[in-house]
Amino acid sequence: KQARLGLLLVLMLNSGMRFVLPLLAPLLLDHGLSMSALGALFSGGNIAAGIAGTLAGGLLMKYTSPGRALLMTYGVQGIALLAVVMTLMMVPGHLLLPILQCLVIVQSISLACALVCLYATLMSLSSPLQAGVDFTLFQCTDAAIAILAGVIGGVVAQHFGYATCFLFAGAFTLLAAWVAYIRLYSARELMTSAID
């Protein structure tokens, strides 16, 4: 039962992010970022953002419950994705690229933070009798989502534009974060009552 909850968390929480992750570089290039600047952003910028997000995720898991940590991290990620939509629709051209670059960094920080919280939660949901099997199943599910969602996201972006993709991803991520919080809270209550 806990393994099924873990699979549900992976499916819900990572689908939105995986839907738009391959689109970040093309989005910036289409709005005028040079290849050299893109390389610097996605190497140095993402490394720094990843370290910051990883540290933040560890602190969140130490001082809050898994449900709250996932709600906060994926909530920030959903808001960042929706902010991309607002930027594309409302920001004037000369400010568009700098704001998009900042949002990519925010998204990278929230992604690292969210994955730390998610995989820490998945470790606690793995059965002690077959922890390796359960965790491999979670990881393979995430990889399958990355392939499928990435391909679908590219097709949707080609036909309906970037804004549609980021709108769907942001809304789905926010909804998934709330559902994950509810499910984890219910599971914790059930385990507490069973022990009592």
Tens digit of each residue's pLDDT (9 = 90 or more) over 103-158: 999 999 999 999 999 999 988 887 777 778 888 888 899 999 999 999 999 999 99
The range of the structural domain enclosing residue 7 comes to 2-195
Asked whether the beta carbons of 61 and 119 are under 8 A apart, the reply is no
pLDDT value of residue 138: 87
Amino acid (1-letter code) at residue 160: F
pTM: 0.89
Q: Tell whether the model's pLDDT for residue 188 goes beyond 50.
A: yes
Say how far apart CA 112 and CA 164 lie, in whole Å. 24
Say which CATH number the domain at 43 has: 1.20.1250.20
Helix 162-195, helix 2-20: angle, nearest 10: 160
Residues contacting 51, CB < 8 A, separation 6+: 112
Say how far apart CA 114 and CA 116 lie, in whole Å. 5
Total of domains in the chain: 1
Tens digit of each residue's pLDDT (9 = 90 or more) over 27-76: 999 998 999 999 998 888 888 999 999 999 999 999 998 899 999 999 99
Burial class of 46 by CB neighbour count within 10 A (0 to 12, 13 to 18, 19+): buried
CA distances from 167 to 106, 135, 161, 174, 192 (A): 17, 31, 10, 11, 38
pLDDT value of residue 79: 96
Distance, C-alpha 178 to centroid of its chain: 13
